[in-house]
Structure 1
Amino acid sequence: MAETETIYVLGEGGGVHAMDVPLPEPIQDRLTRGLLRRVNKDGSPYQGTATGEDTRAGAKDGDDPAHPPSPDGRPAQSAPKSEWIGYVVRLGKLSAEDAANYTKADLIDLAS
């Protein structure tokens, strides 16, 4: 049996949950939108690894040339609106529900 990777996710209620990768689609969507955050087992902020580990199964930094990674976590201008929603939520500027009502251009301006 293949060994699965386990990550830890900080939920909306503040609990740390162990999750096997690949994540279920609804969980991955909430992680992308910034409603959930990847953390270490003890709940401390996750810093990633030298290999560019990501929560998407098999994803590595730079895998998507259309949306190259930014050192500060800021999405590329061409990234989908969902990535901008997650970024604005992580900055603490809006809730995910409020951010969804903004246009992508408005989210980019708000993040500036």
Structure 2
Amino acid sequence: MAETIYVRGEGGGIHPMDLPLPEPIQERLTKGMLQRVNEDGTPYIEAAPKESEGSGPVFTTPLTEPAKTANKPDWVGWAVVQGADPEEADGMTKADLIEKYGTPSTT
């Protein structure tokens, strides 16, 4: 039986979605264009996985800065967490996102 999560869409509606999410939905969730919420619409706080569960896919925007080698959706999500507009961040290049929202290198 598939696990069901709740996602707030761009229009504000809350939609139940079975896991695994379709790739385009997962990408928009990673970018911060959609938000995972509880069934009643309150913010979802992801619990740390139990040791026996292993590490599955992440269904929320990143809480820590992605590696410089991470893909663009991870950087878009990070920029959104930092206060960027999701659509504006998605329109930037990965290099621009790293320059504007990444920790400066000390090399």
TM-score, with length taken from structure 1 = 0.70
Contact preservation (8 Å) 1:99, 1:107: yes
Q: 1:73 to 1:11 in 2, by over 3 A?
A: farther
RMSD over equivalenced CA pairs, Å: 2.3
Using the alignment, how far apart are the partners of 2:84 and 2:47 within structure 1? Answer: 27
Matches within 5 A, 1:1-112: 3-51=1-49, 59=56, 72-96=63-87, 98-112=88-102
Using the alignment, how far apart are the partners of 2:100 and 2:85 within structure 1? Answer: 9
Give the paired residue count: 95
- Helix, strand or coil at the partner of 2:91: coil
Gapped runs of 5+ residues in structure 2? 103-107
Gapped runs of 5+ residues in structure 1? 53-57, 62-69
Using the alignment, how far apart are the partners of 1:36 and 1:103 within structure 2? Answer: 20
Report deviation, 1:37: 0.9
Report deviation, 1:60: 5.4
- Percent sequence identity is 51
TM-score, with length taken from structure 2 = 0.73
Q: 2:105: which partner in 1?
A: none
Give the number of the structure whose residues are more often helix, by fraction.
2
